[in-house]
Chains A and B, each alone.
Chain A
């Protein structure tokens, strides 16, 4: 079969969606990071369960804990944004609604990420 793609298009390898394998790559990259980050998060939550306010803030003022918690938030929210995007693209076929949901997905993930980051930073800086 005759290849109708231009040589430049073939070299770029970005396909019709114009972003190549970047969505897949980011999904897997954040997934690998999350195996470690979410394990840390689960251990942290178990360790902090029922903690009083003083010991909770003391834990989050540890720079290693707050840095890892910030990574949990940011990497987790990026991973979930990518995943929900696929769900929306799979199930919503009317262009208008799909576009609205894809935007809403980015707004939701960004809001959760930034609100949580601000909260962690406020506590870790002694808020």
Chain B
């Protein structure tokens, strides 16, 4: 339909904002948002490695950036996005194997995803502070 008038004032099907948020839906949206955030977060990884490759002074500069309050805040968010996206991915593996489609199982896994990702992120940072 190359000649269809896409800007015509035609009725639209209901979109996200019309529905009451439910846990499976929110986890699905968060999976995509965390994925997109991690996409741009790789700039931080590249920055870290390039600074280290450039020499001791620029390595120290990167360490200072990541060690600042804002740096740590961003890295905390990065950690959560990474953990959340991974647990969400494990949920997708379960679905790929043909399991977990019952409403109760899907709801349980969605709740476990958010509880697990927040808990694991906090645990990882506690480990980080203990190791440091």
Contact = CB atoms under 8 A, between A and B. Distances in A.
Decide whether A and B assemble into one complex. Answer: yes
B52 A50 contact: no
Contact of B79 (A28, A42, A80): A42
Given A42-B79, A93-B6, A112 B131 contact: no
Interface residues of B, number: 32
Contacts of A115: 46, 49-50
B30 interface: no
A49 B82 contact: no
A49 B132 contact: yes
A42 B80 CA distance: 11
A112 B47 CA distance: 9
Nearest to A73: B45
A67 interface: no
A13 to B, nearest CB: 19
B42 A42 contact: no
Q: Could you tell me the dominant secondary structure of chain B's interface residues?
A: helix
A105 to B, nearest CB: 9
Contact of B38 (A49, A57, A80, A120): A80
A44 to B, nearest CB: 11
Interface in B69-117: 79, 82, 86, 89-90, 92-93, 96
Contacts of A73: 45
Nearest to A54: B56
Nearest to A72: B45
A103 interface: no
Interface in A91-119: 93, 112, 115-116, 118-119
